[in-house]
């Protein structure tokens, strides 16, 4: 059977346990040489075990026994799927929906679609978002390249606040972006976007983000925010004053504004409310979909290509529930289970 092109085909394709298993194995070990993720040894014994679930259905578990470290391992070990009781077909379906649904997919929808609890669906999606994070050290731009830089606020709207809170903020002069998270974005025209949560809109935070992600000598387009005035020596800097106009020839930030529109449509329409300490995960998710719309030649990337790209990133990542919720930083939690660990 050919690799799936649509969600319906993906569900049918990955419903076969053998086919699903072979698909993941071929991505992890494309040369066909299965290696232990713990010690790297290629000497092992294949093991196939069967059991039955509560509905009487037979479950097949495929694993290997490593000769090097004498430990068992499955294809999930050393991936974001590790220590998950959910079968690979559920992971594949959820991942396909996450990377190919334009506005994302909520944990409630995954809960209804896959028949798992909402808590499990939320944990699953957060682990999948970890795989979508951009880890490249290659900077955007370069001599002759054009990069748009802008920032936006993410948070509740004043009209949705309780009247007492809205009046209190107005009386002390705190309106607009007060109390909201700040996300900074950098878009190379005809290229990739990078977005990250920054502590504030002050000069040090924005300057560090630009220097860390954009090659010196690039042509930068920004708005009139005064924090950008400190970059003129390292970059060719052009400003569009939004009080006067939004486009001045080639000087504009409409590209990154388009990304903000997509991000806020995802956050407000699909996820409704996102905690600030998890916001970066949702920003990474939208950046991945934005960056995989077209290939380097400008051709549209299909859903199956985007899914294969996402699947190639799941190896070498691990996210536990304690890490996700911050419980591992509690003085009650430690690796030995004695409950005497000090907080970080």
Supply the DSSP symbol for 138. P
Per-residue pLDDT at 332 exceeds 90: no
Within 8 A by CB and 6+ apart from 98, the residues are 104, 105, 125, 128, 129, 285, 310
Q: Mean pLDDT, to the nearest integer, of 143-160?
A: 85
Rounded Cα distance, 316 and 329, in Å = 23
Which pair of tokens denotes residue 59? 């479950």
What pLDDT digit, counting tens, does each position of 241-256 carry? 988 899 999 999 999 9
| 97 phi/psi in degrees, rounded to 5 | -65, -40
Per-residue pLDDT at 340 exceeds 70: no
> For the chain, first and last CA: distance in Å?
50
Q: What is the pLDDT of residue 173?
A: 44
Per-residue pLDDT at 234 exceeds 80: yes
* Nearest-10 Cα torsion for 197, 203, 208, 211: 120
Q: With bands split at pLDDT 50, 70 and 90, how would you rate the model's confidence at 106?
A: very high
Q: With bands split at pLDDT 50, 70 and 90, how would you rate the model's confidence at 51?
A: confident
Burial label, 120 (beta-carbon count in 10 A; 0-12, 13-18, 19+): middle
Superfamily of domain 146-299: Ribonuclease H-like superfamily/Ribonuclease H (3.30.420.10)
Q: What is the pLDDT of residue 174?
A: 42
Per-residue pLDDT at 336 exceeds 90: no
Q: With bands split at pLDDT 50, 70 and 90, how would you rate the model's confidence at 50?
A: confident
Q: What distance lies between CA 189 and its chain's CA centroid? A: 22
Q: With bands split at pLDDT 50, 70 and 90, how would you rate the model's confidence at 327?
A: confident
Q: What is the pLDDT of residue 23?
A: 93
Q: Mean pLDDT, to the nearest integer, of 143-166?
A: 81
Rounded Cα distance, 226 and 318, in Å = 40
Strand ordering across the sheet containing 44-52? 44-52, 58-66, 72-73
Please give the helix or strand (H or E) that residue 236 lies within, else none: strand 236-239
CB atoms within 10 A of CB 228: 21
Q: Which of 8, 245, 246, 236 lies closest to 142 in space, CA to CA?
A: 236
Q: Mean pLDDT, to the nearest integer, of 216-222?
A: 95
What pLDDT digit, counting tens, does each position of 260-295 carry? 999 999 999 999 888 889 999 999 999 999 999 998
What pLDDT digit, counting tens, does each position of 176-215 carry? 566 789 999 999 998 999 999 999 999 999 999 999 999 9
Looking at per-residue pLDDT, the higher value among 344 and 153 belongs to 153
Q: What is the pLDDT of residue 169?
A: 54
Per-residue pLDDT at 338 exceeds 50: no
**Cα separations (Å) of 150 from 182, 214, 292?**
11, 13, 21
What is residue 165's three-state secondary structure? helix
Within 8 A by CB and 6+ apart from 23, the residues are 13, 14, 92
Average pLDDT, the chain: 87
Burial label, 220 (beta-carbon count in 10 A; 0-12, 13-18, 19+): buried
Per-residue pLDDT at 30 exceeds 50: yes
Domain-wise residue ranges, the chain: 7-131, 146-299
CB atoms within 10 A of CB 130: 18
For the packed helices 254-265 and 279-291, what is the interaxial angle rounded to 10 degrees? 120
């Amino acid at each position: 059977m050919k690799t799936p092109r649509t969600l319906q085909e993906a569900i049918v394709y990955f419903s076969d346990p053998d086919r699903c298993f072979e698909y993941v194995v071929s991505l992890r070990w494309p040369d066909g040489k299965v290696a232990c993720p713990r010690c790297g040894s290629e000497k092992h014994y294949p093991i196939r075990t069967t059991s039955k679930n509560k509905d009487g259905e037979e479950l097949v578990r495929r694993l290997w026994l490593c000769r090097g470290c004498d430990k068992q391992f499955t294809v999930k070990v050393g991936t974001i799927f590790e220590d998950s009781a959910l079968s690979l077909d559920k992971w594949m379906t959820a991942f396909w929906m996450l990377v190919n649904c334009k506005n994302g997919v909520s944990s409630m929808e995954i809960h209804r679609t896959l028949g798992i609890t909402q808590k499990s669906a939320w944990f699953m999606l957060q682990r999948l978002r970890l795989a979508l994070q951009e880890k490249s050290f290659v900077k955007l731009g370069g001599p002759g390249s054009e990069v748009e830089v802008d920032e936006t606020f993410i948070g509740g709207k004043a009209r949705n606040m309780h009247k007492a809170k809205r009046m209190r903020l107005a009386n002390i002069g705190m309106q607009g972006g007060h109390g909201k998270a700040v996300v900074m974005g950098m878009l190379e025209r005809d290229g990739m976007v990078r977005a990250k949560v920054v502590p504030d809109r002050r000069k040090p935070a924005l300057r560090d983000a630009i220097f860390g992600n954009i090659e010196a000598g690039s042509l930068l387009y920004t708005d009139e925010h005064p924090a950008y005035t400190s970059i003129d020596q390292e970059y060719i800097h052009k400003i569009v004053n939004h009080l006067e106009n939004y486009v001045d020839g080639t000087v504009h930030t409409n590209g990154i504004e388009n990304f903000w529109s997509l991000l806020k449509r995802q956050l407000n329409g699909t996820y409704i409310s996102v905690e600030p300490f998890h916001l970066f995960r949702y920003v990474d998710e939208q950046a991945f979909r934005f960056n995989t719309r077209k290939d380097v030649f400008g051709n549209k990337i299909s859903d199956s290509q985007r899914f294969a790209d996402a699947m190639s990133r799941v190896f070498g990542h691990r996210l536990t529930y304690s890490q996700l919720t911050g419980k591992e930083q509690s003085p009650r939690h430690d690796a030995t289970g004695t409950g005497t660990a000090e907080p970080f």
